[in-house]
Amino acid sequence: MTQRRSLVLGCGAYLPARVVTNDELAKTVDTSDEWIRQRTGIRERRFAAEGELTSSMATTAAQGALDMAGLNAKDVDLIVCATATPDETFPSTATRIQSNLGIERGAAFDIQAVCAGFIYALAVADNFLRLGQAETALVIGAETFSRILDWEDRTTCILFGDGAGAVAMRAATANGSAREPGLLSTHVYSDGRHHDALYVDGGPSSTGTVGHLRMEGREVFRHAVVRMSEAIDAALEANNLTPGDIDWLVPHQANLRIIDAMARRLNLPQDRVVVTVDRHANTSAASIPLALCEAVHDGRVQRGDLIMMEAMGGGFAWGSALLRW
């Protein structure tokens, strides 16, 4: 039976120029390169320059996605930007991106699901496209976490970086087969009881300040593998597929130990897992599109490959997305 499906036609990425190594952080924070590498796999991260905004990074990534897709900005009638670090409380960062790209029609709005934001944004855009409410979408993950870190808290400030990634999507018709290209499914979940494990201690309605990131790392770790595994199982089951069908795991990049545990659970060899956490650290909503874009541009991901994406973050919010590239 013919149905609408969202094709991913292109992807784009942006990383700020400034590289900050673990050794550089260790000059001002009580930590070491050895501790950070052993516990997280992180070697370095990028920090946005003064005046560089979530929206400016996102705009560059979005333009890259349009260029690869061979689309004109005027084709876009939906922009969904996942970010926990918007330029301003309002209006949405997505509307700044829309204006930067010279787009004057359609809808643009932000999604807030922290590290799971890109999966949530894909789910929302996919539903718009499949229902015929939009034809061409930009889905973006963009963050400047360096601006919400507490530099006195060594348990969190070493973990995060800045950056942006984007995909350009277009509705097409398909016969429903998992062999055909496009987004096969998205699964999103949340459980607000875990607020205290990962949150920012500020906001317009609570403190009137921006606040800093707070995290019980062990508690997040404990839930991450279980929750993300459940989301992957749901995606495979919904498409009548098995772990053996997956060509690439493109996971949220929070910690190499979590990524390795996910790969082991799926019985995937390491060279089928896209890892950027060593160079990007955790860029929250930007981490999956940045990793996807790297693997597409260096030729690892080929058209027809099956890509499993998964993430979990503050809320807790988590999910998976299965894409036939």
- Tell me whether residue 80 or residue 198 sits nearer to ligand ACO (CB atom): 198
Separation of alpha carbons 298 and 162, rounded Å: 21
- Tell me whether residue 189 or residue 221 sits nearer to ligand ACO (CB atom): 221
Percent helix, strand, coil in the chain, to 5, is: 40, 30, 30
Choice among 81, 157, 282, 293 that is catalytic: 282
Choice among 252, 255, 280, 293 that is catalytic: 252
- Give burial (CB, 10 Å; 0-12/13-18/19+) of 20: middle
Give 133's contacts (C-beta < 8 A, 6+ positions apart). Answer: 78
- Tell me whether residue 6 or residue 253 sits nearer to ligand ACO (CB atom): 253
Q: What is the nearest approach in angstroms of ligand ACO to the Cβ of residue 31?
A: 3
Which spans of this chain sit near ligand ACO (rule: CB under 6 A)? Answer: 31, 35, 39-40, 114-115, 154-155, 158, 198, 217-218, 220-221, 224, 254-255, 258, 282, 284, 313-314
DSSP string, 16-32: -SEEEEHHHHHTTSS--
Q: What is the nearest approach in angstroms of ligand ACO to the Cβ of residue 58?
A: 17
**115 annotated active-site:** yes
| DSSP designation for 260 | H
- Tell me whether residue 77 or residue 110 sits nearer to ligand ACO (CB atom): 110
DSSP string, 223-249: HHHHHHHHHHHHHHHHTT--GGG-SEE
Choice among 115, 194, 212, 280 that is catalytic: 115
Phi/psi at 93 (nearest 5 deg)? Answer: -60, -35
Q: What is the nearest approach in angstroms of ligand ACO to the Cβ of residue 221?
A: 4
Q: What is the nearest approach in angstroms of ligand ACO to the Cβ of residue 109?
A: 21
Q: Which residues are marked as active site?
A: 115, 252, 282
